[in-house]
Amino acid sequence: MKVALIGSTGNVGSRILTELLRRGHEVTGIARHKERVPVQPHVTAKQGDATDEESLSRLLPGHDALISAGRFISISPRAIITAVKKAKVKRLLSVGGAGSLEVAPGKLLVEAPEFPVEHRSEALAGKDFLNMLREEQELDWTFLSPSALFVPGKRTGKFRIGTDKLLTGEDGKSWISMEDFAIAMVDELENPHHSRERFTVGY
């Protein structure tokens, strides 16, 4: 496929980029500073602003999907959604956040007293993006939330899939490596099972 990727130079985005290339996809890396997008075969770097719908919509025609891996406080969900529709791109997949996952009926992780204050703004912005997608009537979207601890690690290909509840292992730990998260994202790109849904992955 031909895939546009916002945030291809970030921690998560760079791993999604690697996974896309591993599977033979053509990637357009969209970044404010395109010189930071790694120069390698099957990657085209484009300068773009994920808060500017006009700028973004000019870069997207001809792509099969857009994957957004940018930080929620640095992008504009409305601009991204509008640009994808304007460019007639069939699918939008977004790296989600764990904060909007349920830890008890009706209670979100971001609302827990122990949720780190320094991550609350980002988590709340992610929740707003998800709510905006859920109100969307036209777009084919998917929002993939990681587990609570989301860190660089190993690519194992072994993880569990859930929906709106935070996944926790038998040891009480909720985590996923960025490498395995990237596998789940590209799996969903290639074989959609969560159209117009949020899902989550964890060990």
Q: What is the pLDDT of residues 67-110, one digit of tens each?
A: 999 999 999 999 999 999 999 999 999 999 999 999 999 899 99
What size, in residues, is the chain? 203
Helix, strand, coil shares of the chain as percentages rounded to 5? 35, 25, 40
Give the pair of three-digit tokens for residue 126.
Answer: 């992610």
Tell me the β-bridge partners of 46: 30
- Residue 46: name the closest of 55, 59, 64, 58 by CA: 59
**DSSP character string of 117-132:** GGGHHHHHHHHHHHHH
Q: Give the CA-trace dihedral at 120, 94, 70, 81, to 10 degrees.
A: -100
Distance between the two ends of the chain, CA-based, in angstroms?
Answer: 28
Neighbours of 113 (CB within 10 A): 4
pTM: 0.95
How far is Cα 69 from Cα 5, in angstroms, rounded to an integer?
7
Quick: pLDDT tens for 133-180: 999 989 999 999 999 999 999 999 999 999 999 999 999 999 999 999
What is the token pair recorded at 166?
Answer: 């935070």
Domains of the chain by start residue, with CATH: 2-202 (3.40.50.720)
pLDDT of residue 35: 92
The two three-digit tokens of residue 144, written as one number: 């993939």
* pLDDT tens digit sequence for 27-68: 999 988 889 998 899 999 999 999 999 999 999 999 999 999
